[in-house]
Amino acid sequence: MVHADNPQNRARHQVGFTVALIMLISAATVVTIPIRLASAETVALGWSYTGSLNTPRLGHTATLLPDGKVLVSGGGTISGGDSQSLDSAELYDPATGKWNATGRLNVPHTSHTATLLAYLRKL
C-alpha cells in the first residue's frame, strides 16, 4: 500500500500534477491559435469551408449523389427551447459551392436515415 503522507510519494504527486498542468496549458494555447478558413477553390483534396445551409438544422441526413452533389433532408431546428422537425431539403453543388432549396418531404423527419438506391434504366 502507498501512503500519501510519505514525502517521496507527495513529491511524485506534485511532479505529476505539474506536468499535467503544463500539458493542459500547452493544449489550450494551441487551441487558441486562429484558424484560417479556405475556400473550396483553394483546397483540391480533403475538407474545406463552404457556404452554409439555407436552413440551419440538426438530426438531418446527408447523401452523396452519383453526380457529386449532396442532398440534405429533414432534421430539426431548436429555437428558444422549442424544437421543430423540418420537411425541407437542400442540394449542395460542389462546382458552385452553393446550397439550393429543392423538393420537400411529405412528412417532416428528424434523426432518420437515408439510403441512396441504384437506379436501373431499361435499355
56 located within any domain = no
pTM: 0.59
Number of domains, the chain: 2
87 located within any domain = yes
pLDDT by residue, tens only, the chain of 123 residues: 555 567 666 666 666 667 666 666 666 544 444 545 455 455 556 677 788 999 999 999 999 999 999 999 999 999 888 899 999 999 999 999 999 999 999 999 999 999 999 877 776
Residue 27 grid coordinates: 493544449
What's the rounded Cα separation, in Å, for the pair 48 and 75? 23
Q: What letter represents residue 48's amino acid? A: S
What's the rounded Cα separation, in Å, for the pair 71 and 116? 10
94 located within any domain = yes
> What is the residue range of 89's domain?
61-109
11 located within any domain = yes
Measured CA distances, 114 to 87, 103, 111, 119 (Å): 14, 15, 10, 15
Q: Is 77 helix (H, G, I), strand (E, B) or coil?
A: strand
Q: Are 40 and 59 contacting, i.e. CB atoms less than 8 angstroms apart?
A: no
Within 10 angstroms of residue 63's Cβ, the number of other Cβ atoms is 14
DSSP 8-state secondary structure symbol assigned to residue 117: P
120 located within any domain = no
114 located within any domain = no
